[in-house]
Each structure stands twice: as C-alpha cells, then as structure tokens.
Amino acid sequence: MEQLRTRRSLLFALALIALVVLAASIRYGAMDFSVADIARALRSLLPGHAEPTLDQRIFLELRLPRAILCLLVGASLGVGGTLMQALFRNPIVEPGLVGTSSGAAFGSALFFVLGGILHFSESLWSLPIAACIGGIISTYLVFLLARSREDGRASIVMLLLTGLAVNALFMSAIGFLSYIARDPQARSITFWSLGTLSGANWNAVEIVAVSTIGGTLLALRYAKQLNALMIGEEEATYLGVNVNRLKWIILSINVVIVAVATAFTGVISFVGLIVPHILRMMGGADNRFLIVGSALTGATLLSLADLVARLSLRPAELPIGIVTSAVGVPVFLLLLRRRRYVF
Amino acid sequence: MLQASNITFRVNGKALISDVSVSFAPGKLHLIIGPNGAGKSTLIKVLARLLRSQDGKVEYEGEDVRDASEADLARRRAVLSQAVEVAFPLTTREVVMMGRYPHFGGRPGPADEKITDELMELFDVTEFSARNYQTLSGGERQRVNFARVLAQLWRADSGTLSTSSLTPSTCRYLFLDEPLTFLDIRHQIEFMKKVRDFTDASDVVTVGVVHDLNLAARFADQIVLLNDGRVVSTGTAAEVLTAFRIREVFGVEPIFVPVNQGGIHLIFD
C-alpha cells in the first residue's frame, strides 16, 4: 500500500521533471528563444496572425519537433530496455546490445540507398517499415545464433556476444552502404552509428508518437505477466501465463518501438540499459511502475543528453550517441563487475 | 478427483515415465516416492500440465486438461517447486501477492490483499513483508513461496485452513515438487502439517514428491512408489513400504522400528 503511494508520487515527480526538461530543451540550443519568442511563434500558428518570421519558423519547424521527437525516442528506448530486461530476467540487456538498433539502422540506410537507385515512390510509412524489417531480421538472427544446441535456450553470455558480432556485421554493412550512397542522409555513417536528432521534423514526430504511445500502452497490459516471469518461466506458467506467447508479444513490441525510433535518429545506445536501473533503485521492480516510469525517465534523460549535445559545441553539435555512451558505458561496466547481477 | 490414464512422456525418444495410470482423490494427501531418476518430478509436471504427455491423458474431474488454457488452470491448480529464484529485487509481499495474479485483472482487490496478509501471517513471514526476497535464506524463501502457492488456491470465503463442510463445484489441485529440500527438520515437519491441514478440505487434491521415506510414511494417505518411470506400487504406507520393495527399488536394506500409534519407522543398513 505504502509502496503503491511512493510509486505514484515518484511517477508524478518524473512527469514534472520531464516537463521542465522539455521547457529547457525548447528554449536553449544553437539559438536561444525567450518565453516571449516562444509565445509569439505559437501565436503565429493561429488564424488571422501574421506569417511567422524566419526565427519563428526555425522554432516551429526545427526546435519544437526536435524536442518532442527527443521525448518520444527516449521513451521508446527506456520502455524497450525495461521490456528486454524483464523478458531475459537480466538487468544488463538493452535493445542496442541484442542487435535490434543496428538492424533497424541498416534497414533504414538500405531504404535510402535503394530509394535513390530504384526511384520508387515512398510513402510516409515506408522508412519505419524498412527499419522494422531490419530490426526483426537482426534480432531474430541474434536469437537464432545465441540459442544453445542442447536445450534451445539463449544464455545471456551468448546473447551479448552474438549481439556484439551481429552489431558489427550490420554496422559494417551500413558503412558499405554509406560508401556507395548518393543520398546525403544515407551517406552519413556518423548519423547511423552515433545517432542524432538533427533530422527531426513533424512527420517523424507523428510516426514515432504512434509507435511509442501505442507500444507503451500495449506493453502495460502485459506488465502483470512480465512480473510473474520474474520468478521463472515454469512458475509463470503455473500462475497462468502463456510464456511463449508473452515472449513473442513483448519482443515484437520492443522491435517495433525501437526500430521506428532508430529510423529517424540512428542508433542511440545505453539509454535502455540505464533507465530501468535508476527506476528499480527508486521504486522496486514492479513492471507496471517500471514501464510508465521508464517512458518518463527515458524521455527526460534523452532530452538532457540532446541539450548537452546541442550546447557543448555551440553552434555546432555533437552526435547524441557520444553523450549517452559517455554516461552509459561506465554504468554498464559497473553492472558487469557486480557479479550477482550477471549470469 | 485427478485421474491419469496410461501417460507416457518421452524426451528425445527416451521415456521418462511410461504407461502410468494412477488416480488421486480429494481430501487425501498423496506422496510420490522413488529413487533418483524414477520420473517423480516429470510425473508431477505432467499432472500439473506444465508438460503434455505424448500418450495417455490427465483429467481433472473428468475433464481432459490437454487443451485447457493456462489462465483457467491457474485458478484451480498451484505448484510449489524446489527453489524459486527471483531475478529482480521484489519485496516478500509482492511475491506472495503473485499467487493472486490469476484471480484479478488490473490491480488486486480487497479480497486479494486480505488473503495475502492472512497467508503471510500463517507462514510467519509477515515481518519480512517489505524486505527484498533476494535477501532471505533458503528456508525463509520456501515459506514465502508456500504462502504464495496457497494464496493461489485460497478461497476468500473459506477463512480457515480446514474448510467448511459444503463442497464447491470444482476441486483445487496442489502439487509439491520436492518442497522440503531447503528446510531444516522443524520446518519440514511444520510444513507437512500445514499441507496435511490444507488437504483436509474436501475439495483439495494434493500430490507431492518427497525423498524422506519416513516423512512419507507418517503423513501420506496414499503412497505412489515409482521406479524407472513406472508405478511399482500404490497404497498406504504399510502396503507399499515392504522390505522386499525397498530392497528392490532403493537398493538398501531396511529395518522396521515400531513406533507408537501403530506407525512404522525405517532405518537403513
């Protein structure tokens, strides 16, 4: 009971922090906007007002979608990390480590390259679909290769090592594509491997919003079953969970939300690893709390990382993956060293 | 009533249990004994429908459970395993509450909260309520899990352990897969007494695996002796545990020591 109250207040606090960070992230960047600037820019959208000025258009068409996309992508990565950790009953997995992100990045890069060569007409959804296909292929490949020959289960060591290899494979494939590509976006290997939100626009926001919000709400419906999985697959079955079905559903949600986010931002690692940890330390391991909390915390952390990326080399910017890795890698190593958490 | 008919379970062509037919009545405590590799755990898992046998069928009150859904089974069947590891820091109360998962949708209702508290009281784990399950000892964990498993089968109206005279329409099935492994002798006895009490309800079918022949002889209404995946003998302790069978199946020489109230105690040479 008391724990439930603590968790509610925690989630409320996290939501407030996310809003504060959102406010900071729309104000500061290559160019700072005052509150009055922001109000004027928003008013120019209303009918009967003057056309937006260049600065106002920068705010409305670049800054604002970028800030919102950042929240959504952060939420996707946080929720993806929580789902993967619950599924594998292990706190050191995340979507980037089992190949999902690099596969999705490969799918997107291939889409740009083939699009340039074949000149097919692209709809709004073809890029995210290409990313999903790439994500599904790479994730499936990792699972297939990591499975032990004896009992068909994937040990966490095999999973991480296989993930490493598959990541390297897809990254070099992306390297090859960027070498032969003519499309400027596909040409940028840093875009895919280190991630950036600089390509944000309202189309991206729309698509990522659908997958993130839909995926998170769907995952919440399975939170109780994921809790039961914490005490083991057999025990979860005894508690009424169809474990195989649950695995497929959770894996699919994870691949879709992470792949769609990756299609627009490139591979951003370690957010999905850190976020569930912070939450477990604060409010325990109940997945109902973790899923909502990791959406909020992921959004907040990625927005902070994006602020750092934008402000540290003003007016140029850092790829956001450099910021998340700088924080994430030490945390990952620390977790690896704590033996009781692994294997 | 639980009825297994001609069940055979194979893994990679090797039969772990073959052609087992056995029935278990409500209100009775049934214990399966047998040497290592006899197929005891496999039999429990087939009876609890974690595994599906290739041949034969398992029926709960005449209903074949092969295609029953997990959710439906979980409302009337619970299984206590040897040791339960939790992957993340859950509190003890959260673990016990899991027993109520099959009975509520989103959030636990007042009845679920009440049953959870009752069973934590009964198994003397209330003081651990907010403690991380991972920090408990093996014996403490097993008590927590027993509380969880009984919470799964508890009826909100039953109140006490030995339930009322009226028989509900469906039976409840309790399976115990070597539950005593991590318990000291006092907790083994207390544990078996609680199983005994719970089984006294007229709608509870209890089937367990134990290693200690003396505990089996003392607490079981019916003993099933398993060897090499086949049922060697079923019946009361006096019927099943003969010197000849113990020698044949376990490969040890028993000495029967008479104890009071007509019981027997075995020591081995």
pLDDT at A343: 37
Domains of chain A, start order: 2-341 (1.10.3470.10)
Residues of chain A with a CB closer than 8 angstroms to some CB in chain B: 1, 3, 89-91, 224, 227-228, 230-232, 234-235, 237-242, 280, 284-286
Q: Which chain B residues are within 8 Å of A227, Cβ to Cβ? A: 94, 98, 101
Q: With CA atoms as reference, report the closest residue to A266 among A275, A258, A274.
A: A258
For A107-124, letters b (16+ CB in 10 Å) and e give bbbbbbbbbeeeeeeeee
How many distinct structural domains can be found in chain B? Answer: 1
The residue segments making up the domain with residue B128 are: 2-268
* Mean pLDDT for all residues in chain B: 89
- Verify whether the Cβ–Cβ distance A280 to B85 is below 8 Å: no
Residues of chain B with pLDDT > 90, as a percent, come to: 68
- Verify whether the Cβ–Cβ distance A227 to B98 is below 8 Å: yes
**β-pair type (B222-227, B230-235):** antiparallel
The string of pLDDT tens digits covering residues B129-159 is 999 999 999 889 999 999 999 999 998 765 4
Instruction: Report yes or no: A193 and A321 within 8 Å, Cβ to Cβ.
Output: yes
Residue of A nearest to B88 (CA): A285
Q: Which chain A residues are within 8 Å of B91, Cβ to Cβ? A: 3, 284
pLDDT at A319: 87
pLDDT at A66: 94
pLDDT at A42: 87
pLDDT at A189: 67
Comparison of pLDDT for B87 and B65, the residue scoring more = B65
Instruction: Report yes or no: B159 and B122 within 8 Å, Cβ to Cβ.
Output: no
Angstrom distance (rounded) from CA B206 to CA B70: 19
Phi-psi group of B208: left, alpha or beta (phi > 0 → left; psi -120 to 50 → alpha; rest → beta): beta
First and final CA of chain A: distance in angstroms? Answer: 33
Q: Mean per-residue pLDDT for B64-75?
A: 92
Q: What letter would DSSP give residue B100?
A: G
Q: Return the HEC string of chain A.
A: CHHHHHHHHHHHHHHHHHHHHHHHHHHCCCCCCCHHHHHHHHHCCCCCCCCCCHHHHHHHHHHHHHHHHHHHHHHHHHHHHHHHHHHHCCCCCCCCCCCHHHHHHHHHHHHHHHHHHHCCCCCCCHHHHHHHHHHHHHHHHHHHHHECCCCCCECHHHHHHHHHHHHHHHHHHHHHHHHHCCCHHHHCHHHHHHCCCCCCCHHHHHHHHHHHHHHHHHHHHCHHHHHHHCCCHHHHHHCCCCHHHHHHHHHHHHHHHHHHHHHHHCCCCCHHHHHHHHHHHHHCCCHHHHHHHHHHHHHHHHHHHHHHHHHCCCCCCCCHHHHHHHHHHHHHHHHHHCHHHCC
Question: Min CA distance, A283 vs chain B (Å)?
Answer: 10
pLDDT at B168: 55
Q: With CA atoms as reference, report the closest residue to B35 among B255, B267, B249.
A: B249
Question: Min CA distance, B38 vs chain A (Å)?
Answer: 21
Which residue matches tokens 């976006």?
A: A185
Q: Which chain A residues are within 8 Å of B152, Cβ to Cβ? A: 239
Q: Mean per-residue pLDDT for B63-86?
A: 92
Averages of pLDDT over each 10 residues, chain A, 343 residues: 81 95 89 86 82 85 93 96 90 82 88 71 77 90 80 72 90 86 65 81 93 96 94 93 91 92 88 90 90 96 92 85 86 71 40
- Interface mutation vs chain B, best among A156, A220, A235, A335, most B CBs within 10 Å: A235
pLDDT at B165: 45
The string of pLDDT tens digits covering residues B154-206 is 987 654 444 444 445 689 999 999 888 888 888 899 999 999 999 988 899 99
Q: Which chain B residues are within 8 Å of A284, Cβ to Cβ? A: 89-91, 94
- Verify whether the Cβ–Cβ distance B79 to A238 is below 8 Å: yes
Instruction: Report yes or no: A306 and A68 within 8 Å, Cβ to Cβ.
Output: no
pLDDT at A267: 87
Give the domain CATH number at B13. Answer: 3.40.50.300
Instruction: Report yes or no: A79 and A289 within 8 Å, Cβ to Cβ.
Output: no
Residues 66-105 of B with CB under 8 A from A: 69-75, 77-79, 81, 84-91, 94-95, 98-99, 101-102
